[in-house]
């Protein structure tokens, strides 16, 4: 994966009015975070945003595709879909779609936690010798 810093900077510029967005190098590309939650992915100078069951329809209607990669002789499809091209000309729309992606990421994290069950953590007693 090759990512140009110019592309990352352009995306960050479009999202600057939202505030709190930071890129982190990951797997040869970048993850986009708002606070501690990843909502976007940038591999190969393409922006992918996190989707859920509600927002996926909008990405499908826009004609975009999900992010996929190959591993162990099979194709893995992730819940990140390519951002529609028109977002790169409109910061307000980019922020709107990014906010929806953040909501999808937050819902996904909550759902995963609920599936695991919230087990109380064991407390270890620490004694001084």
> pTM for this one?
0.83
* Confidence label for 34 from pLDDT (cuts 50, 70 and 90): very high
Indicate whether 125 belongs to any domain. Answer: no
Indicate whether 128 belongs to any domain. Answer: no
Helices (H), the chain: 5-15, 56-61, 91-116
pLDDT at residue 117 tops 90: no
CATH code for the domain of 30 = 3.30.1460.30
Distance CA 92, CA 87 (A): 8
Distance CA 67, CA 65 (A): 7
Residue 112 confidence (pLDDT): 62
Q: Are 94 and 15 in contact (CB under 8 A)?
A: yes
Indicate whether 76 belongs to any domain. Answer: yes
Indicate whether 54 belongs to any domain. Answer: yes
Indicate whether 10 belongs to any domain. Answer: yes
Residue 8 confidence (pLDDT): 96
pLDDT at residue 71 tops 90: no
Q: Quote the number of domains for the chain.
A: 1
Residue 41 confidence (pLDDT): 96
Domain range for 111: 5-115
pLDDT at residue 108 tops 90: no
């Amino acid at each position: 994966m090759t990512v140009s810093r110019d592309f990352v900077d352009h995306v960050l510029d479009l999202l600057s009015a939202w505030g709190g967005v930071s890129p982190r190098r990951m797997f040869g590309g970048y993850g986009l975070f708002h606070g501690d939650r990843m909502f976007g992915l940038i591999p190969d100078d393409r922006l992918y945003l996190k989707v859920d069951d509600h927002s996926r329809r909008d990405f499908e209607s826009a004609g975009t595709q999900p992010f996929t990669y190959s591993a162990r002789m099979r194709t893995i499809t992730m819940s990140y879909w390519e951002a529609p091209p028109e977002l790169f000309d409109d910061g307000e729309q980019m922020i709107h779609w990014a906010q929806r992606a953040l909501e999808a990421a937050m819902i996904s994290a909550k759902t995963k936690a609920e599936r695991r069950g919230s087990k109380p953590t064991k407390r270890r007693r620490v004694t001084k010798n």
